[in-house]
Chain A
Amino acid sequence: MKKKIFAKRISNKKGFSLLEVLLAIVILGLIAAPILQIFITSAQINHNSRKIMGATDVANMTMEYITSLKFDGEGGVKEVFTENGASPEKRIPAIGYYSNATDLGTSWGNIGDFRNDITTNHYGHSGSNIYYNSVTGDQYLGVAINDIQYNNFSYEMIIWFEATNNSETYYTYDVILEVYGEDERVSVADDGTETPYTANFGEKLIVVNGAVANQ
């Protein structure tokens, strides 16, 4: 009798044993982990595509604004990109920013140069002075615009002007817009204190190249 009951118990295969469950979990983890990574990747791709779309819109609006400007020509300057609160009608419409204009001199410069102030001794086209936040000249000129807020992202932008035609009468400026995503790094001190990295011009997102002529 005891042998028959025990045999019945041994032959009962319903349910999962603990071993099976553990093995199943291990297999699930090994196979699913890389698959779940896809979700993370998708989220990152969406994030980047939103940034690119925002940067594209910023560059588009800026380029259209520059194209609409009338450059006064001989001895004339055009004030653009002025700071928040100062002559707001001269700022690029639809986007908010703080403009920190810098004269990037005759070279592409590095990030450290962006902190220099414009000097009025920089002579450009036809001997004109280059003024703060203005555009003229036939040398490399860059204007840096900081803290652009658009589409819940933060950007920076450098706008380069290079005269392609040095005629005294009619001239064309190449305009190059470089839009950067704000650096989101965090610096960690020895004591573990985290500080958002405040350096500007992190990841270069897009570059748009256009031209504008005096009218």
Chain B
Amino acid sequence: MKKTNKLIHNNRGAALITIMIAVAFVSILASAILYLSFSNYQMKVANYQSKVNFYGTEKDMTTVSTTLRNTLASNISDPLTALKNDVGYTSVAGIERYDTTKLAQLVYPSASSSTVASGDTTVVFSTTITDTNVSNFVIEGGGNDHKVTLKGVQIQHTDTQGFEHQITTDIVFNVHKSSGTPDAGGVGEFSVMTDNKITVDANGSNTRVVMYGNVFIGPGTYKYESGVINPSGVDALVLKGDSIFTQKGDHMIIFGNIVLEDTSVFNVSGGKLTVLGDIIVGPNATFVSSGEVFFPSNAKVIPSSHVPGDLTYGFKGTTANVVPKTLVDATNPTVQYLTDANYTSILTTLGLNDATDDGLISKILTSDFKKLMSGEEGVIANNGIDGAAKSAKTTYYGVDYYNLWFCEEEMNGNKASNALVLNGAAASLQDGGNLHSTIISVKDITITNSKNMILSQVGGDVFNILTAKSTTDYPGYSTDTHTVQIKAGNGDYKDGKDVKVGDAFQTTANQTANSLIGYASNGNNGVEQIDTSVGYTNWNKR
């Protein structure tokens, strides 16, 4: 009994126990907080690692698609075979497949298998089409247009901590083969492009025209049907009086006749002249060429309506089939013949083999942009000329609106320098001085002056654009937005309206111009090129 009482009243060591309980409580709290903090930190690191893995995986996929795109673009003669070599293409019993190890080698050239160690990451290239009896390499289309699909390309990144990211997609290549001289410089290398006639009228005194750039003159009767070029019978370039026309540009392409009257002189100085028509040289006129001249072959199909004795293509002087007063004759090696295939391919490639076609310029100018040449007032809807969405519709005033397009005034003032001149009126180009500009005209052009008129190409395929003039301002061009300022005035000055031209115009125009040169002036199909685009379908990541 006494011992129990002693025990009950003995609190020795209570302090220590209290301390231990307090410490235990604090320890539990601290552990819990530390655990939460550490978990939070691990989550942030995991988030970071997953993003690193994602971008690393996307990088590999980007490299694969770009490398293959380069393969296609740089193997003009046979792009598809080159692509197949790059991806380890096999075809067994009609089953077409790519090799995942070859895909790995596109990104990691030293890879010996489809699993690659890259730093602290393991990269696996695979395909989701695991059944070897199913094709995962698909080619569609034919001719000059193909669509190649690599189905189920899968790339997975796994790092040493086990974080992984996987991307699966089909890679689609659209391959278009075209011809043309890629470095021809595009529209900017032309002095004049027109579907209409150019007349050089001396107007009683010497008129000298020197074209330093390329020239295209094509009255729109060069369509052909059933393999027969419709003999143009239309005069394209007419020189009168004592005018002298010198072509110094690399290429001059004429769909129609060149007519040299009076004592005029036509001089091809070192470039290439392609004529799908006649060069009709008057008895006192002169045709001079130190360059190359291309005609359609004598072996071409002659229309049944052809009258014997009439020269369809070639030189014509006072006596049929005799070449007078010229330094060039049919036996001159500079005169070359285009084969049927050549000149028909010109029209086919440029899309001019349609009897209802309305000319080359229509190919260069996009449909919206042609409105700017219409001489009308109108509204261009959303999705402006360059395809970019526009916030509002734009009122445009077409060239020749109110009949106030005075091309020659802008030329006289040298304001057309470094400009693409869109001519929508029947312009008479007077004293224009020495200008660096490119004229695209949908109307006849008459050149009359008593001084030198030099139209020199802008050079290159990026240019300012000059359109209808205003009475006060020089129509300008914004390099940021590629807008064309359409202005017209009739006493009451109208504010200029900006209309986007953008990349679409330049791309279309330049491709067409380069193709024209490549086909027409080389006597062959010119330089071929491959255009590609790449896309992803069924993109999936985890």
Cα(A176)–Cα(B420), bound, Å: 42
Q: Which of B155-186 contact A (CB under 8 A)?
A: none
Contact B41 A38 (CB under 8 A): no
Q: Which of A24, A27, A35, A212 meets B62, CB within 8 Å?
A: A212
Contact B30 A35, beta carbon cutoff 8 Å: yes
1/0 contact trace for B25-54 toward A, CB 8 Å? 011001101101110110111011001100
Q: A12-42 vs B: 1/0 string, CB under 8 Å?
A: 0110100011011001100110011011011
How many angstroms from the CA of A208 to the CA of B23 in the assembled complex?
A: 44
- Nearest to A25 among chain B residues (CB) is B19
Q: Which residues of A contact B58 (CB under 8 A)?
A: 67, 210-211
Judge if B403 is at the interface, Cβ distance under 8 Å: no
B30-A36 in contact (CB<8A): yes
Please report the C-alpha to C-alpha distance between residue A213 and residue B70 in the assembled complex, in whole angstroms. Answer: 11
Report the minimum CB–CB distance from B465 to chain A (whole Å).
19
Which of chain B's residues have a CB closer than 8 A to the CB of A49? 37, 40-41, 43-45
Q: Looking at the complex, which of A51-59, A127-135, A142-150 is the stretch in contact with chain B?
A: A51-59
For chain A, give the interface size range: 35 or more
Q: Does A209 lie within 8 Å of B62, measured CB to CB?
A: no
Question: Which residue of chain A has its CB nearest to the CB of B31?
Answer: A38
Contact for B18 among A24, A206, A210, CB less than 8 A: A24
Q: Is the CB of B23 within 8 A of A32?
A: yes
| Cross-chain contact A28 with B22 (CB below 8 angstroms) | yes
Point out the residues of chain B lying under 8 angstroms from A208, CB to CB: 51-52, 55
User: Is B15 part of the binding interface, using a Cβ–Cβ cutoff of 8 Å?
Assistant: yes
Closest chain-B Cβ to A62's Cβ sits at a distance in Å of 11
Whether B15 contacts A38 by the Cβ 8 Å rule is no
**Bound complex: CA of A14 vs CA of B11, how far in Å?**
7
Residues of chain B lying within 8 A (CB to CB) of residue A45? 34, 37-38, 40-41
Q: Are B55 and A35 in contact (CB under 8 A)?
A: no
A46-78: which residues lie under 8 A (CB-CB) from chain B?
A: 46, 48-50, 52-53, 55-56, 59-60, 63, 67
Q: Are A16 and B14 interface neighbours, CB within 8 A? A: yes
A53 touches B47 (CB 8 A): yes
In the complex, are the beta carbons of A38 and B70 less than 8 A apart? no
- Report how far A46 CA is from B44 CA in the complex, Å: 10
Report chain B residues within 8 Å CB of A59.
51
Chain A residues lying within 8 Å of B149, measured Cβ to Cβ, are none
* Closest partner residue, chain A, to B41 (CB atom): A49
Closest CB in chain A relative to B12 CB, distance in Å: 7
Whether A170 is near chain B, meaning CB under 8 Å from some CB there, is yes
- Tell yes or no: A107 within 8 A of B by CB: no
Contacting B at CB under 8 A, from A96-129, are none
Q: Are the C-beta atoms of B41 and A48 separated by less than 8 Å? A: yes
* CA gap between A13 and B6 in the complex, in Å: 10
Task: Give the interface SS of chain A, mostly helix, strand, loop or mixed.
Answer: helix
Contacts of A52 in B (CB 8 A): 41, 44-45, 48
Q: Which of B10, B15, B27, B37 contacts A46 (CB 8 A)?
A: B37
Most B CB contacts (10 A, CB to CB) among A32, A164, A167, A169 go to A169
A211 touches B11 (CB 8 A): no
Would you call A174 and B59 a contact (CB within 8 A)? yes
Please provide the chain A residues from 162 to 215 with a CB less than 8 Å away from any CB of chain B in the complex: 164-165, 167, 169-172, 174, 206-213
The answer to whether A167 and B74 have CB atoms under 8 Å apart is yes
A169 to B76, CA, bound (A): 13
Which range contains the number of B residues in contact with the other chain?
35 or more
Decide yes or no: A23 and B15 within 8 Å by CB, A38-B31, A56-B47 being known contacts.
yes
Q: Which residues of B contact A206 (CB under 8 A)?
A: 48, 52
Min C-beta distance of A3 to chain B, whole Å: 19
Is there a chain A Cβ closer than 8 Å to B65's Cβ? Answer: yes
Q: Are A211 and B63 in contact (CB under 8 A)?
A: yes
CB < 8 Å: which of A31, A63, A67, A174 contacts B23? Answer: A31
Which A residue sits closest to B503, measured CB to CB?
A: A72
Distance from B388 Cβ to chain A, minimum over Cβ atoms (Å): 12
**Contact (A39, B69) CB under 8 Å given A169-B74, A208-B51, A209-B55:** no
| A50→B47 CA distance, assembly (Å) | 12
* B70 engages A170 (CB within 8 Å): yes
Whether A13 and B9, one on each chain, are in contact in the complex, defined by CB atoms closer than 8 angstroms, is yes
Docked pose: A36 CA to B56 CA in angstroms: 41
In the complex with contacts A32-B23, A52-B44, A164-B63 CB distance below 8 A = yes
With the chains together, A42 CA to B29 CA distance in Å? Answer: 12
Cα A125 to Cα B45 with chains together (Å): 37
**Is B67 at the interface (CB under 8 A from chain A)?**
yes
Residue on B with the closest CB to A54? Answer: B44
Answer whether A24 and B19 are a contact pair too, CB < 8 Å, given A164-B63, A169-B73, A209-B56. yes
Most central of A174, A210, A212 by chain B CB within 10 Å: A210
Among B19, B34, B62, B74, the residue within 8 A (CB) of A38 is: B34
Are B15 and A21 within 8 A (Cβ)?
yes
Nearest-Cβ distance from residue B97 to partner chain A, whole angstroms: 25
Across the interface, do A170 and B62 meet the contact criterion of CB distance under 8 Å? no
B321 within 8 A of A: no
Residue among A36, A60, A171, A211 having the largest count of chain B Cβ atoms under 10 Å: A211
Knowing A14-B11, A170-B73 touch, does A42 contact B59 (C-beta < 8 A)? Answer: no
CA distance A31 to B30 in the complex (A): 13
Is there an interface contact between A63 and B55, defined as CB atoms closer than 8 Å?
Answer: yes
Partner of A172, one of B19, B38, B62, B532: B62
The docked-state distance in angstroms from the alpha carbon of A174 to that of B62 is 10
Bound complex: CA of A167 vs CA of B51, how far in Å?
29
State which of B9, B40, B51 has its C-beta within 8 Å of the C-beta of A56. B51
Complex formed: what's the CA distance from A175 to B63 in Å? 12
Known contacts A31-B19, A165-B66, A210-B59; 8 further A-B pairs (Cβ under 8 A): A13-B9, A28-B19, A42-B34, A45-B41, A53-B44, A169-B74, A211-B58, A211-B59
- 27 A-B contact pairs sorted by A residue (CB < 8 Å): A13-B10, A14-B11, A27-B16, A27-B19, A31-B19, A31-B23, A35-B27, A36-B30, A38-B31, A38-B34, A41-B34, A42-B30, A42-B36, A45-B34, A46-B37, A48-B41, A49-B43, A49-B44, A52-B48, A165-B63, A167-B70, A167-B73, A208-B55, A210-B58, A211-B58, A211-B59, A211-B60
* Residues of A near any B CB (own CB < 8 A): 13-14, 16, 20-21, 23-24, 27-28, 31-32, 35-36, 38-39, 41-43, 45-46, 48-50, 52-53, 55-56, 59-60, 63, 67, 164-165, 167, 169-172, 174, 206-213
The 8 closest A-B pairs by CB, nearest first: A211-B59, A210-B55, A42-B37, A38-B30, A49-B41, A49-B44, A24-B15, A45-B37
Contact surface of B with A, Cβ cutoff 8 Å: 9-12, 14-16, 18-19, 22-23, 26-27, 30-31, 33-34, 36-38, 40-41, 43-45, 47-48, 51-52, 55-56, 58-60, 62-63, 65-67, 69-70, 73-74, 532
